[in-house]
């Protein structure tokens, strides 16, 4: 059983399945009288609110810490931040710029650390995505997800989680925005099929789920004009969705930039499950915390 959740493959496939089933249950006692520290180096809407509410639903008390308050690695070393927070809390969540920071927190923490988004990974998002897809289609195995856009943190965790769950994964990114070799190696290490292409039309063919995320992630704002140009042709449109399976659904981790990576029409369409997906951030966060803090194993 993993002590931390820094990337979704810290779980085995059986443990991933267990987290998804815990996500539909409640356990009001697990965090009773206990705290959970949520450290943020970047803004957040869904992650902060879903994590806080998941902790409350488990009987605990969330303490959200803004970037200027603790100053990870600035006011105090990352290791000392982890050791201090471990004195008071049963869990540490961290949203960081550099994945190394969340790894370092986990190395010094005596309580489970959850990555709430780094430049490399967004495991909590992938859990909510897989939960939403499972609820929609009844099972995951045998489905196909097409991700259109930047091969970023969200795409990487989703790709790994999909392959772990027996879902075929195709990704269409412009040249220069494909997965790094290290990420590709990590994705492929879980087995299963990933198709990488430069053509969105090829990726979406027969897909059950079409997924996209912003072209410019937090921390990349200076590249935004270049990215806007480079991603031309990668907007998810109704026309693109018509090439997918007729029963397909559209997902986006949010926040969206309407009419950049996806049209407003798609966001509002009958394909869209973005609000169910956003709600599921809370349920899957509760499942992930319950799994990490319980001694049940699989």
- For the annotated catalytic residues, the residue numbers are 95, 122, 125, 213, 253, 281
Decide whether 195 or 256 has the Cβ nearer to ligand CP.
Answer: 256
Residue environment code for 44-55, b if the CB has 16+ CB neighbours within 10 A, otherwise e: bebbbebbbbbb
Decide whether 115 or 272 has the Cβ nearer to ligand NVA.
Answer: 115
152 binds, among ligand NVA, ligand CP, none (CB under 5 to 8 A by kind): ligand NVA
Q: Which of 38, 41, 42, 40 is nearest to 51 (CA)?
A: 38
CA 282, 171, 232: angle at the middle one, nearest 5? 100
The single residue among 55, 126, 253, 282 that binds ligand NVA, judged by CB under 6 A, is 253
CB of 210 to ligand NVA, least distance (A): 17
- Token look-up 């008071």 returns 88
Please state the φ and ψ torsions of residue 196, each to the nearest 5 degrees: -110, 130
Q: How far is the C-alpha of 5 from the C-alpha of 129, rounded, in Å?
A: 16
CB of 20 to ligand CP, least distance (A): 18
Task: Take residue 122 and report the two structure tokens written for it.
Answer: 């967004």
Stretch that binds ligand CP, among 14-22, 44-52, 138-146, 234-242 (CB under 6 A): 44-52
Stretch that binds ligand CP, among 3-11, 52-60, 129-137, 249-257 (CB under 6 A): 249-257
Decide whether 86 or 153 has the Cβ nearer to ligand NVA.
Answer: 153
Decide whether 60 or 93 has the Cβ nearer to ligand NVA.
Answer: 93
**CB atoms closer than 10 angstroms to residue 221:** 10
Pattern of binders to ligand CP over 117-156, x per CB under 6 A?
A: x-------x-------------------------------
Please state the φ and ψ torsions of residue 93, each to the nearest 5 degrees: -110, 145
Q: How far is the C-alpha of 251 from the C-alpha of 271, rounded, in Å?
A: 9
Decide whether 122 or 134 has the Cβ nearer to ligand NVA.
Answer: 122
CB of 216 to ligand NVA, least distance (A): 8
Q: Does 152 bind ligand NVA (CB under 6 A)?
A: yes
Q: How far is the C-alpha of 62 from the C-alpha of 72, rounded, in Å?
A: 18
Q: Which of 55, 60, 63 is nearest to 38 (CA)?
A: 63
CB of 209 to ligand NVA, least distance (A): 17
- Are 124 and 281 within 8 A, CB to CB? yes
Under 8 Å CB-to-CB from 194, ≥6 apart: which residues? 159, 163, 169, 170, 171, 184, 187, 188
Decide whether 26 or 45 has the Cβ nearer to ligand CP.
Answer: 45
Q: How many residues bind ligand CP (CB under 6 A)?
A: 9
Q: Which of 241, 233, 173, 238 is nearest to 206 (CA)?
A: 241
169: helix, coil or strand? strand
Q: Does 214 bind ligand NVA (CB under 6 A)?
A: yes
**CB atoms closer than 10 angstroms to residue 103:** 18
The single residue among 23, 153, 272, 284 that binds ligand NVA, judged by CB under 6 A, is 153
Q: Does 45 bind ligand CP (CB under 6 A)?
A: yes
CB of 86 to ligand NVA, least distance (A): 26
What is the contact surface with ligand CP in residues (CB under 6 A)?
Answer: 44-47, 117, 125, 253-255
What is the contact surface with ligand NVA in residues (CB under 6 A)?
Answer: 117, 152-154, 213-214, 217-218, 253
């Amino acid at each position: 059983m993993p002590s931390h959740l820094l990337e979704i493959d810290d779980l085995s496939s059986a443990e991933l399945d267990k987290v998804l089933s815990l996500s539909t249950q409640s356990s009001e006692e697990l965090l009773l009288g206990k705290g959970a520290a949520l450290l943020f180096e970047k803004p957040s809407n869904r992650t902060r609110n879903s994590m806080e509410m998941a902790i409350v639903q488990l009987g605990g008390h969330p303490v959200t810490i803004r970037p200027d308050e603790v100053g990870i690695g600035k006011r105090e070393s990352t290791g000392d931040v982890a050791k201090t927070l471990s004195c008071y809390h049963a869990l540490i969540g961290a949203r960081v710029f550099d994945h190394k920071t969340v790894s370092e927190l986990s190395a010094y923490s005596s309580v489970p650390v959850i990555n709430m988004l780094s430049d490399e990974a967004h495991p909590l998002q992938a859990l909510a995505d897989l939960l939403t897809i499972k609820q929609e289609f009844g099972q995951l195995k045998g489905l196909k997800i097409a991700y259109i856009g930047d091969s970023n943190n969200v795409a990487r965790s989703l790709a790994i989680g999909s392959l772990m769950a027996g879902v075929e994964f195709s990704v269409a990114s412009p040249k220069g925005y494909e997965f790094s070799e290290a990420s590709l190696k990590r994705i492929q290490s879980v087995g299963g099929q990933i198709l990488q292409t430069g053509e969105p039309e090829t990726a979406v063919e027969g897909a059950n789920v079409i997924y996209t995320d912003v072209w410019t992630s937090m921390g990349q704002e200076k590249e935004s004009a270049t990215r806007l140009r480079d991603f031309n042709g990668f907007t998810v449109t109704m026309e693109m969705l018509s090439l997918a399976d007729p029963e397909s659904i559209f997902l986006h981790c949010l926040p969206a930039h309407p009419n950049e990576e996806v049209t407003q029409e798609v966001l509002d369409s009958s394909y869209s499950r973005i609000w169910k997906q956003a709600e599921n951030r809370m349920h899957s966060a509760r499942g992930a915390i319950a799994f990490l803090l319980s001694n049940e194993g699989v």
